[in-house]
Structure 1
């Protein structure tokens, strides 16, 4: 009897072992196409480690079909490209919103050349970041993940003031760079199209009928306002160099619209499709706007404003209601957090990514980075970025999707 039970037990265990073995398989058993599809779903940060796993995975990392598989992934959690107070560094620092940590990326070789000492980031879209040489007005577009980059064809010089630099990636292999220039109310724009690898003809923007400019309602030619640094100045707003042309681009109802901050702190919308522009009504009285920035989230333009009132500071996010022609608040930093900014001459520089906004807060007394989740209504301060035992300080940031397939 015991022998029969023992035999039955061994058979049952054998079947269980076979079932368990059949439930596991090695990735090496996959053909190349399936392996590339599986690996394409991994976080982009694993791209840096593929080559060290085995020879086969190393070949995947260099495969063109693997990049095509990555391009099929609809979206990736954003990385934030941080702008250091010292632009002359050979490494870039990004914050990975998926893994909630800081990463160091090597600068592309082209940006390290002695002939390119003045290139600073000015715009980003998709998996690419655009750098501009402040001295020569040259542009370089780079994929921060792969380190690939190229210098664009020289921009046709003009003598008009440059107001906005916006970037729009239409696919992983094409993008546009939009420059808005001129003197209000005479504005124009010019587009670099990567598909034809050239700048298109300059286009004049007309004022949209029924909209008047803030400047036209002034009794005096001089406009006084609070700069982003919190000082009262006249018609010469100064921002941090990387955000001097703070602007975003959206696609709404098949219409491309570039939004930027005017010298008086108002938001100007340039409709590239209909070749017209208009100015939004001011959010707050001119001396109440302490610091302001414009961001793009889910294809929509939003405005972040830091203001001070009754001995406290308030940081709020606003959306414009086109139907009622008025601003509506959609998020506000908890008073316990924003009160720390009061009377600190704080400057905010912001960037949007999906449902998130990263706010870089800077002053002589403090430096912090706060991530706002618009859906969850959560405000989280990022951990300090320590390099060599010292906390790094950043002025601003640009959001991008870490995509190895984004080409130039």
Structure 2
């Protein structure tokens, strides 16, 4: 409490200096509103002035409103002062900006920085148990999810909000689990049988699993169902519209990406993307030519942008390339590719790739008869990093990734 008192005194002195010397702050604070520390460590003060107040600034002196520090902890205000010091005294106070327009909850949630996603993977020699990779620590974990069937092949096919959706391709059952806290649920049986040639996507109803989630499976023939965790039941909304050409050429590795409430799947013949809005139930199809000489391609997403990752092979040279979908032209534009010195290792080899990930961080499993490499790619920073080999407990051989999904580690998410 002594530190808090000192901070109050310091703020009071600053206010007195402003009043004495007639200097006005560069940022307006509305009285009785507290400071908010953003998780990104970039300190911002909430702007609560209305546009009408800003119009009078040319004729009136800005008011210097005191900060209410009565209900904050000393650590919070110490962090505030440290942030101010690092940015050069009070230079972090920004000029006034117009109040932000009202946005949907989904838009606001998308801008909140999230933890670095982890990857839940299945290796080719250990299909009955998963391996989790933590990119922050560059460490592999080998969890045991006791509730999952042990004598069946259960594969991770989708994720949302810290939960991972599994599909038992033997009995065709779905499960939802939090790999960190072992929260587990077996979903009700479906009205139709689900085979391995389905694609699965998952979205949250709100900003966390406490508000519920939905799971979509769609088959090559256009048949689909939606699971609603609030109702704990599968729903058959209808049939796919005739505007979507069938069959879709999907399988459980047809990774879906989600942007807000919409799921996107890649399709072929014709090449393009199929989308489904989990709220309105509307299907759409976009005809988008795939880049030439492309194999093992997968959709990804970063900040509302749809990305494409694939192997570009020409003659004997192979490289991993990244494309971004241009919304105006509906064409793919190459935005990055793996460093050339890394691609030299692929020269003359028949390389296969498995891509995991969704929200901005991807894991690539690259393999051939003579090679087995794991790489992560950060879409925002365009950073390529090598991943340490995955070795099962008491094993020596490095595993290659057969399938998997990215998920955000969350100890509070409940299935």
Provide TM-score, normalisation by structure 1. 0.66
State the 1:132 CA deviation: 1.0
State the 1:264 CA deviation: 4.7
| 2:125 is aligned with 1:86 | yes
Residue matched to 2:189: 154
Structure number with the higher strand fraction is: 1
Q: Which runs of 5+ in 2 are unaligned?
A: 1-72, 77-111
Q: Distance in 2 between matches of 1:192 and 1:320?
A: 29
Moved more, 143-152 or 159-168: 159-168
| 2:240 is aligned with 1:205 | yes
Q: Distance in 1 between matches of 2:271 and 2:351?
A: 19
State the 1:159 CA deviation: 8.3
Q: 1:169 to 1:365 in 2, by over 3 A?
A: farther
State the 1:188 CA deviation: 4.5
Pairs within 5 Å for 1:86-105: 86-89=125-128, 91-105=129-143
Q: Distance in 2 between matches of 1:158 and 1:238?
A: 16
**8 Å CA contact 2:248, 2:267 repeated in 1:** no
Q: Secondary structure at the match of 2:182?
A: coil
Q: Distance in 2 between matches of 1:271 and 1:112?
A: 31
Q: Which runs of 4+ in 1 moved over 4 A?
A: 158-162, 235-239
**8 Å CA contact 1:259, 1:269 repeated in 2:** yes
Deviations 1:58-110 (A, max 9, x none): xxxxxxxxxxxxxxx96222111121113444x4321111212112212x222
Pairs within 5 Å for 1:260-299: 260-262=265-267, 264=269, 266-272=271-277, 273=280, 275-285=282-292, 288-299=293-304
Q: CA RMSD in A?
A: 3.0
Q: Distance in 2 between matches of 1:326 and 1:290?
A: 17
**8 Å CA contact 1:360, 1:397 repeated in 2:** no
Q: Distance in 2 between matches of 1:381 and 1:339?
A: 15
Q: Distance in 2 between matches of 1:99 and 1:392?
A: 19
**8 Å CA contact 1:87, 1:120 repeated in 2:** no
Q: 1:126 to 1:344 in 2, by over 3 A?
A: farther
State the 1:316 CA deviation: 0.9
2:158 to 112, 116, 123: 123
Residue matched to 1:300: 305
User: How many equivalent pairs are there?
Assistant: 300
Residue matched to 2:255: 246
Provide TM-score, normalisation by structure 2. 0.65
Q: Which runs of 5+ in 1 are unaligned?
A: 1-33, 38-72, 216-234
Pairs within 5 Å for 1:3-402: 75-89=114-128, 91-106=129-144, 108-114=145-151, 117-157=152-192, 162-170=197-205, 171-173=208-210, 174-183=212-221, 187-206=222-241, 243-251=252-260, 256-262=261-267, 264=269, 266-272=271-277, 273=280, 275-285=282-292, 288-386=293-391, 387-388=393-394, 389-402=396-409
Q: 1:204 to 1:168 in 2, by over 3 A?
A: same
Structure number with the higher helix fraction is: 1
State the 1:293 CA deviation: 1.2
